[in-house]
Structure 1
Amino acid sequence: MRITPHAQDTGGFFVALIEKVSETSFDPSAANGPAWKKKKMFKDEPFTFLKLDDERWNDIRNHYGVDESFLYQNLFSRRLESNDANSRQLFYANDAVKNFVKENMSKVSIQNAGMKMFSRTEGKVENTRFRLSQEGIRYLFKFMQKQKVKIGTEDMLFMLKSDENLVPLEKLECKGDVRKQQNGTVVVYCDDDEPVCTWVGYHTIAPYISKEERLHLLRMMGVDCAEIELLMKSKRKEKAAQDREAAWARKEEAAKAAEPSSSSTDAPESAETLEIPEENVQEMTE
C-alpha cells in the first residue's frame, strides 16, 4: 500500500503490524471447505516464478546491468507455466510473500501480490524485450548499473511540468549524458530515493509516470501544485461532460432507430374517365 501523508487524504486506509505471540492449533483441512464449494470457486491465474538461468532474466540483466545480488527468482508472472514465456508483465515479491504464495496458492484465493517491475515491449527501438515500471523502480534502482542518468533539478522540473508528452532533448542540459545511453527505457534521477522511468527516443524523452505520480514528485521537490491540480480537475470535468453528451447522443440515435417508420399514405388513384354511351350523349344535346 502506498501512503502519502502530505496529501492528508488517506481516506481511512491504515497499515497494521500483526505479531504472532503464541502457537495455535489449526486444522488445515478446515480451510479447504467442502468439495462442492471448491468446484464453484473462481479459478485464479497461477503465480509462476522465474527459474534458475531464465532466458528473460539474462536479457534484462545484461541490458540494465542489474547486480548479481538481485533475487531474480522472486520475479513471477500470472500465466500458466506452459505459457509463461509469453507473459507481458513480471512482478516482484520478497521471500516472505513468495513462500506464502507458493504454500497457499492452491488453498486460498490470492488476487494480487507483489509489485510490477517489468513490462514487455514490442518496440523496435529498444534492445531488450522488457521496459522498466515506475511501480518497482525504487527497489530495483540500487541494483542497476546501466541505463540511468543523474540530471539537474531544473531539467527534472522542466520534464515534470511540461504539457508535452514528448520533451525535446535539445531543451535539457542533460541531453549529452542521456544520448550516451541506449534508446528505450532510461532512469533519470536527482535523488536516489526518487528515480523516474523515462522513454528516450532519437530526439525526445518522455516520463513513464502517471499525472498523480508527477504531482507527488513535484511536491517532494517543494513545488506548489495547487494550480496544476485545478487544471487537472477542470480537464477531467470537461472530459466527463463530453462523455455524457456523447452518451446522450448515442442514446437518442438508438431511440430514433428503434422507432417504427411511419407508413406513407398512398396517393389517391386517378379517377377513371366515365364512358358515356352515344345514345345518352344525343339525348343530352337535343
Structure 2
Amino acid sequence: MRITPHAQDTGGFFVALIEKVVESDFDGSAANGPAWKKKKMFKDEPFTFLKLDDERWRDIHNHYGVDETFQYQNLFSRRLESNDANSRQLFYANDAVKNFVKENMAKVSIQNAGMKMFSRTEGKVENTRFRLSQEGIRYLFKFMNKQKVKIGAEDMLYMLKSEENLVPLEKLECKTDVRKNQNGTVVVYCDEDEPVCTWVGYHTIAPYISKEERLHLLRMMGVDCAEIELLMKSKRKEKAAQDREAAWQRKLEEEKTAGQPSTSSDGAPTEQISESPAENIQEMADAEPAQ
C-alpha cells in the first residue's frame, strides 16, 4: 500500500503487512554475529528524554506560556545524558513512540523518531534559548498562551508572497498586535490549523518556513502557485548551471596549475576548444559551413 503525504507525485511512504505462516526453530543467535564485529558497528546517537523539572522546560514554559498539560517529558535530544544540556535541538514523541524507543534503544538501530519542536538559538534579541520549529508547531500550538497573534488573511498573504526575506512591520495591519509580543519567535495564524512560525525583530518580521511549506500554505489559502513554482524551478536550474560552470572552471585551473592537458578516457590528450562547454558548442556551430 502506498501512502502519499501530499498531492505531489514526488514519493511517498510504503506500508507492508507481514504475516507469519510457518513456525521456525530460528533462535536469533546467529543474527547477532561475532563479538568482534559488534565493536566495529556504528553506534547510534542515544535518545535522552527530559527529566522532571528540567530547566530547559522552565525556560520554554515561561516564555511561550505552554500549558502544564503538555507532556514535556516526552521531549528528547540526540545527545549523551552527560552532555544533554548542550543539545541544540529538542524533538517530541508521543507515549507509544517514547516507550518503544526506551525499551528497544539498545536492541534496535533507531535512526529517527518524533518531530523537531525546538531549536536552540544564541541570538541576543530573544529572551529564551529555544525558538520554535515549524515541523512541530501544529501540535504545540494548542498548548501555547503567549507569543502568538491572530492576523488577517491579507497580512498573511503579503508575508508569504513577499520576495523580501525581512518584511517591514509597517506594511502590515497587524503590526501593533505583533509588537505586543517579545522579539524572537512569534506564531501568526489566520486559521488555528495552519499556524506559521515567524521571527520578529525590532522593525521586521520573517516567516521561518521552507519554500515548500510556503507554497503549501498559499495553496490552502486558494492562491494559484503555478507562476511561483515556475520561478522556483528556473532559479534552481540557473543555480545548477552556475555550479556546473564553476566546477568546469575549477577543473581548468587545476589542469593549468598541474601543467597537464585534459585527457580522454583512452588516455589520449584532447583539444581544448574553449573555456566552457557552452562556448565549445557555440564555436563548433560557428565553424560549420553554411548550407
2:276 pairs with 1:248:
no
Tell me which residue corresponds to 2:194: 194
Identity between Structure 1 and Structure 2 (%): 89
Q: Deviations over 1:209-238 (max 9, x none)?
A: 000000011111111100000000000000
Q: How many residues align?
A: 258
Unaligned runs of 5+ in 2: 261-291
Pairwise CA distance, 1:14:
3.2
For the 8 Å contact 1:31–1:107, the answer to whether it is kept is: no
2:7 pairs with 1:6:
yes
TM-score by length of 2: 0.83
For the 8 Å contact 2:149–2:187, the answer to whether it is kept is: yes
Pairwise CA distance, 1:6:
2.9
Unaligned runs of 5+ in 1: 261-286
Pairwise CA distance, 1:5:
3.5
Pairwise CA distance, 1:56:
0.5
Distance 1:109 1:29, change over 3 A: same
2:143 pairs with 1:143:
yes
SS at match of 2:193: coil
Tell me which residue corresponds to 1:114: 114
Aligned AA (1:58): R
Aligned AA (2:81): E
Tell me which residue corresponds to 1:57: 57
For the 8 Å contact 2:50–2:72, the answer to whether it is kept is: yes
Aligned AA (2:214): R
Tell me which residue corresponds to 1:68: 68
* Residues 1-286 of structure 1 aligned to structure 2 (within 5 Å): 3-7=4-8, 9-15=9-15, 32-259=32-259
Pairwise CA distance, 1:109:
1.0
TM-score by length of 1: 0.84
For the 8 Å contact 1:183–1:202, the answer to whether it is kept is: yes
Distance 1:175 1:33, change over 3 A: same
For the 8 Å contact 2:48–2:79, the answer to whether it is kept is: yes
CA distance in 2 between counterparts of 1:19 and 1:57 reads 43
Pairwise CA distance, 1:15:
4.6
Q: CA RMSD in A?
A: 2.5
Larger of the two Rg values belongs to structure: 1
Q: Deviations over 1:87-132 (max 9, x none)?
A: 0000011111111111111111111111100000000000000000
Between 1 and 2, higher relative CO (CA 8 Å, sep ≥ 6) is seen in: 1
SS at match of 2:97: helix
CA distance in 2 between counterparts of 1:215 and 1:231 reads 12
Tell me which residue corresponds to 1:281: none
CA distance in 1 between counterparts of 2:248 and 2:176 reads 52
For the 8 Å contact 2:4–2:12, the answer to whether it is kept is: no
Distance 1:105 1:17, change over 3 A: same
